[in-house]
Structure 1
Amino acid sequence: MKATWEKIEKNLGVLEVEVEADRVAAALDKAFNKVVKKINVPGFRKGKVPRSIFEARFGVESLYQDAIDILLPEVYTEAVDQTEIFPVEQPEVDVDQFAKGQTFKFKAKVVVKPEVELGEYKGLEVPKVSTEVSEEELTAELERLQQRHAELVVVEEGQAASGDVVVIDYEGSVDGELFEGGSAERQSLELGSNTFIPGFEDQVIGLGTGDSKDVEVTFPEEYHAAELAGKKAVFKVKVHEIKRKELPALDDEFAKDVSEFDTLDEYKEDLKKQLASRKEEEAKATQENIVVEKAAENAEVEIPQGMINSEVRNMMRDFDNRLRQQGMNLEMFMSFSGQTEADLQNQMKNDAEKRVRNNLVLEAIGKQENLEVTEEDVNEELNNMAASFKRSVEEIRQILESNGSLDSLKEEVLLRKTIDFLLANSKEVDAPAEEAKEEAAE
């Protein structure tokens, strides 16, 4: 097989391929074996028509399209490997010649991975990020842990307040008519959680056990149920029960309950170390994002739309997987949110383009700096995966090799090594005063 590649413009080129006549003959044989099972010829059982009779009756040309469909994917892949190009979209194929006893010639217009013109990527400035844990942060973390371990206690007397959990019946109507999904019995609702329609929870605050009230609200204009969007509604609400969080005391007993430590002081010291470690990880992630963004901004690359579309599809698939982990799926989410698949894809396009650009630039930097993934790097990653999934390293490797994901793993490791290289060759600077104030406020 002969294959040549000629670049036409930017990321577009023409791949010319000529395939040997004997491979054409083999493809025609396969096409005949496929077609003969489906045709009926008087005097012959189905699938038993001789090749000569078939060609005399239907013509050998009737096999050409099936033969092309069989042969083209195979030889196109070989041609791509031979010319060492990296297609990023489906090619536009024109068949120049295909006939019995002749070679197979075709041209394919192919959009390939774009070339990157790197700018400055060493010595990029990244802000210093404080990893010191303040007393305020430690106190806030302890309060969060108090909230997590709080007990809900029934309020016998008094009114519902923000933060309380109320058990209510409600029945909603629009223009005096009940609507689907607008009623429930003994529904638990945390006041202040903004779970219900805006204004609903505020009007329940102040009610006592056994109280009833007509709660008047207006559905948002962008509400997912179009028939209710912008409509005024009345909910008849009855409060059955009020529960209030009772926070545990911050003492040695609390430390024993939530940790392996015997005293609160010991637990606070360990918690401070945990928070410091978390802040260090967050600081590193912040600096990594900044240095990658700056390197990408300094580079020049024209991204084919096909690569962006492909990344959007990947993001949609990941989003669907995350939803399924939460007991939902993409279809349910779109129904609740009132969005279409096209709406979600449009929202993802900017992030998808940024991801593609960043990855292309990182790949180019890795090549420029001759960065490589060693067997030691791969083994370290496999060990981490094995520990995470509680499987042996051999099992993880076999799984990745069987589904063709080992190369993808190596690519991910190389990208991380490139990011580490950028960060190691960056320059830490004090953040501007305004940014420092914002960081302190956070």
Structure 2
Amino acid sequence: MQVTETLNEGLKRGYAITVTAAELDEKVNEKLAEAQPEIEMKGFRKGKVPMPLLKKQFGPRLLGEAMQESIDGAMSKHFEDSGERPAMQPEVKMTREDWKEGDDVEVEMSYEALPQIPEVDLRTLSLEKLVVKAGDAEVDEALANLAESAQDFEARDEGAASEDGDQVVIDFVGKVDGEAFEGGSAEDYPLVLGSNSFIPGFEEQLVGVKAGEEKAVTVSFPEEYGAEHLAGKEAVFDCTIKEVKAPKAAAIDDELAKKFGAEDLAALKTQVAERLEAEYAGAARQVLKRGLLDKLDEMVTFDLPPSLVEAEAKQIAHQLYHEENPEDKGHDHGEITPTDEHNKLAERRVRLGLLLAELGQKAEVEVTDAEMTQAIMNQARQYPGQERQFFEFVQQNPQMRQQLRAPIFEEKVVDYVVELAEVSEKEVTKDELQKAVEALEDDE
């Protein structure tokens, strides 16, 4: 077997691999000799089938296996001897289209090598960690939001007109072409105006009504309405307004606390403070991580595999296209050409991805089975009733497992780097933290 370098330009590599016909024949004979004792054939005892007959019967299939194993072996030995790692799956193709049994096998292998990553002294990194305490004002604000979410409704003064956000208690009968239709009637129905729980246009027409009034509401069912006999049809709902109620936030007391699973108001305040500080810590980590990545990006420079950058730029362009065109749900929009901005962002992501992978490998950072299981469970919750199928899909799909593993690995590498860096804490307000987080989103 002969491996000859044909290209060495930047990170691009090319090699010609030749496997002689004699080598292939020897490997086929080895496979036949190994299998011969177990082979049975009509007219011969087990293990006594002559080699020439075995070769005629099984040789062509084993020749293909021998070719594949020889080429794979040559590639593995090359990467082992050279210490290089391909950025993506190497491209391998036979160079002789007229190849026939008895000829040497000649193939071309080409790939882009992963670059040598320069050493980084992580102890020279200086990072700033924002800290926000959950004070009384923040806790009170959160409690007020909880009270509003647990709101009740109380009757407005007699003769008061309904407003958006009010609850109106109504009896109604819906008719199409003058005939009442099934499912179109109800009594004492509590409808919150502005909740968009009814057909578009229905709730708006009940703004300004008073208790005791009757109101004919005319709407059209959407064309895509679930019931075909009503889709696109105009309907009139004869409504009787029985009560008009204004929203009223729940009182901030022990009863509210019990609604949210706390023993009393003091316990609820403690829970709220802990939750707020956890949220602040999560947001502060985002800011810290961006600062870390920015500094690492400034510290290292190395050649990037063009194929990785191109693939990342296309993915960025595709993702941004759908974010900007949410109405386009499919992928038949044709090729989206990345801009210079997309390419620049792709270069940064690839550079940092390769650097973090190198740092993680040297630090022997690992993603545990328990962490992977938790990640799969979290993802599976998005498919209620199909959790088992999702688990099976992930188990059978290496690419999906890598997608779930990658962010866990990255976060663990970030933790490792932060531990070695010099980190100073800076206490800020909630608003200052919010501005810092918004600045991150603006830079993306």
- Do Structure 1 and Structure 2 share a fold, with TM-score over 0.5? yes
Distance change in 2, residues 1:107/1:385 (3 Å): closer
Distance change in 2, residues 1:385/1:365 (3 Å): closer
> Within 5 Å, which residues of 2 pair with 1:328-343?
337-338=327-328, 341=331
Matching residue's letter, 2:364: E
> Within 5 Å, which residues of 2 pair with 1:290-309?
290-304=291-305, 306-308=307-309
Q: Deviations over 1:172-226 (max 9, x none)?
A: xxxxxxxxxxxxx89x886399x999xx8997695437667999xxxxxxxxxxx
Does 1:129 pair with 2:119?
no
Matching residue's letter, 1:356: V
Does 1:427 pair with 2:427?
no
Contact 1:121 1:422 in 2 (8 A): yes
Question: What residue is the counterpart of 1:372 in the other structure?
Answer: 364
Distance change in 2, residues 1:270/1:416 (3 Å): closer
Question: What residue is the counterpart of 1:19 in the other structure?
Answer: 19
Matching residue's letter, 1:428: S
CA distance in 2, matches of 1:430, 1:296: 23
Q: Quote how far apart the aligned CAs of 1:291 are.
A: 0.6
Among 191, 195, 201, the alignment partner of 2:194 is 191
Distance change in 2, residues 1:440/1:354 (3 Å): closer
Q: Quote how far apart the aligned CAs of 1:264 are.
A: 0.8
SS of the aligned residue for 2:250 comes to coil
Q: Which has the larger radius of gyration?
A: 2
Distance change in 2, residues 1:410/1:335 (3 Å): closer
Q: Deviations over 1:79-132 (max 9, x none)?
A: 443222324256263514833212211112223334445667543343331230
Matching residue's letter, 2:415: D
CA distance in 1, matches of 2:326, 2:192: 19
Distance change in 2, residues 1:237/1:128 (3 Å): farther
Question: What residue is the counterpart of 1:284 in the other structure?
Answer: 285
CA distance in 2, matches of 1:311, 1:78: 30
Contact 2:86 2:111 in 1 (8 A): no
Contact 1:11 1:112 in 2 (8 A): yes
Stretches of structure 1 that go unaligned for 5 or more consecutive residues are 28-62, 171-184, 216-234, 320-329, 391-396
CA distance in 2, matches of 1:357, 1:202: 54
Identity of aligned residues (%): 15
Distance change in 2, residues 1:169/1:365 (3 Å): farther
Matching residue's letter, 1:95: T
Q: Quote how far apart the aligned CAs of 1:252 are.
A: 0.9
CA distance in 2, matches of 1:279, 1:342: 41
Contact 1:3 1:18 in 2 (8 A): yes
Distance change in 2, residues 1:269/1:92 (3 Å): same
Distance change in 2, residues 1:104/1:294 (3 Å): same
Matching residue's letter, 2:331: E
Q: Quote how far apart the aligned CAs of 1:133 are.
A: 0.5
Contact 1:153 1:246 in 2 (8 A): yes
Question: What residue is the counterpart of 1:37 in the other structure?
Answer: none
Does 1:83 pair with 2:78?
yes
Contact 2:256 2:265 in 1 (8 A): yes
Q: Deviations over 1:226-268 (max 9, x none)?
A: xxxxxxxxx999895777544321111111221231x212221
Contact 1:152 1:245 in 2 (8 A): yes
Matching residue's letter, 1:363: A
Distance change in 2, residues 1:204/1:300 (3 Å): farther
Stretches of structure 2 that go unaligned for 5 or more consecutive residues are 29-59, 80-84, 175-183, 186-190, 220-233, 381-390, 439-444
> Within 5 Å, which residues of 2 pair with 1:349-364?
354-364=348-358
Q: Quote how far apart the aligned CAs of 1:150 are.
A: 3.0
CA distance in 2, matches of 1:136, 1:360: 44
Question: What residue is the counterpart of 1:257 in the other structure?
Answer: 259
CA distance in 2, matches of 1:385, 1:437: 28
SS of the aligned residue for 1:341 comes to coil
CA distance in 1, matches of 2:140, 2:335: 41
Q: Deviations over 1:373-398 (max 9, x none)?
A: 46xx73663686699799xxxxxx99
Distance change in 2, residues 1:360/1:148 (3 Å): same
Question: What residue is the counterpart of 2:8 in the other structure?
Answer: 8
- The size of the alignment, in residue pairs, is 352
Q: Deviations over 1:330-385 (max 9, x none)?
A: 9xx99971365377995995776654332112123345xx31146xx736636866
Q: Quote how far apart the aligned CAs of 1:401 are.
A: 8.1
Contact 1:11 1:304 in 2 (8 A): yes
CA distance in 2, matches of 1:279, 1:356: 29
Contact 1:118 1:298 in 2 (8 A): no
> Within 5 Å, which residues of 2 pair with 1:104-183?
104-117=105-118, 121-151=122-152, 158-164=160-166
- Which of 83-92 and 357-366 deviates more? 83-92
SS of the aligned residue for 1:128 comes to strand
Does 1:93 pair with 2:96?
no
- The normalised TM-score by structure 2 is 0.56
Matching residue's letter, 1:372: E
Contact 2:95 2:107 in 1 (8 A): yes
Question: What residue is the counterpart of 2:275 in the other structure?
Answer: 274
Matching residue's letter, 2:363: L
SS of the aligned residue for 2:270 comes to helix
TM-align CA RMSD = 6.0
